[in-house]
Amino acid sequence: DEVIAYLYDCISAILETYDIGYLKWDHNRTLPLSDVTQTEGTYALLARLRAAFPHVEIESCASGGGRIDFGILQHCQRVWLSDSNDALERSRIQHGAALFLPALVTGSHVGPRLCHTSGRVFDMRYRAWVAAQRHMGFEMDPRELDAQEAQILTEVTQWYKDNRDWLATADILRLDTADPSVLAEMQRAADGSRFVVFCNQLDSAQHILPRPLCLTELDPKAQYRLHLRNRNEATSLSRGAPLLKSQDLQASGAWLMAHGVQLPYAMPGSIWVVEGRKL
């Protein structure tokens, strides 16, 4: 009780003094062993802060020590899945967490060019689109951005802002892929009127040509128009002429679910973004 009171006094003094709209709460559990009283104390503290500062959004952290549960979601607006800001690792983490958590409560941030947890460097296109698949934010120093990176980040962020209203309540549908190096999901609007497919090339393809990606949960009798949002990113290695590489595709839901979408060749560490609308 004394710890709760002390922390509340310290945190509330800061929130009362400064114009703060977002609080990231790290490390909810004692490690290596959980202590239920510490967990209940965290809940009590967060509930008190929420009551006193209802305008402040709280993002809770993290899953590495079992510190995300459905109980914590009563006291925060969203959760942070892992301390790793490696975009490739986060792709897998987000994909798994989608079994339990909608995009609205899943924080996902654009990390720095050099990932401090893995030492890897990823293109801004990849980092930005991974973050845009969930509740998007930034967790890096914007002063490191060059002009091209800033432009890419601006464009992807604007896409997220333009679509976040329907994405907030979209179903996240994990898609089966013939190539284990491909991780794909489809986010479908609650009313079924639109969707977006993220096709993530994690590693070098195991097939000489991309296999068709079958969609799901569409109206088989309806017609849909598909647009490859980032078709300008096709490389010189992308031989052949899949329709989406040069123009939009119109097809029935039955065809899209049975035959699938043919996407251009993709480099490792890249994502195709396909937007679909029901006609």
Q: Which of 1, 19, 69, 83 is catalytic?
A: 83
Q: In what order do the strands lie in the sheet with 78-80?
A: 22-25, 57-61, 78-80, 106-110, 135-138
Q: Has 26 been annotated as catalytic?
A: yes
Residues 6+ apart with CB under 8 A from 192: 217, 218, 219, 278
Nearest to 272 by CA among 150, 182, 171, 161: 182
Q: Which of 26, 35, 176, 203 is catalytic?
A: 26
Q: Has 191 been annotated as catalytic?
A: no
- The structure tokens listed for 63 are 């899953």
**Exposure string for 14-51, b = 16+ CB within 10 A, e = fewer:** ebeeeeeeebebeebbeeeeeeeeebebbeebbebbbe
Task: State the Cα–Cα distance between residues 245 and 231, nearest whole angstrom.
Answer: 6
| Residue pointed to by tokens 């560490």 | 269
Give the residue numbers marked as catalytic. Answer: 26, 83
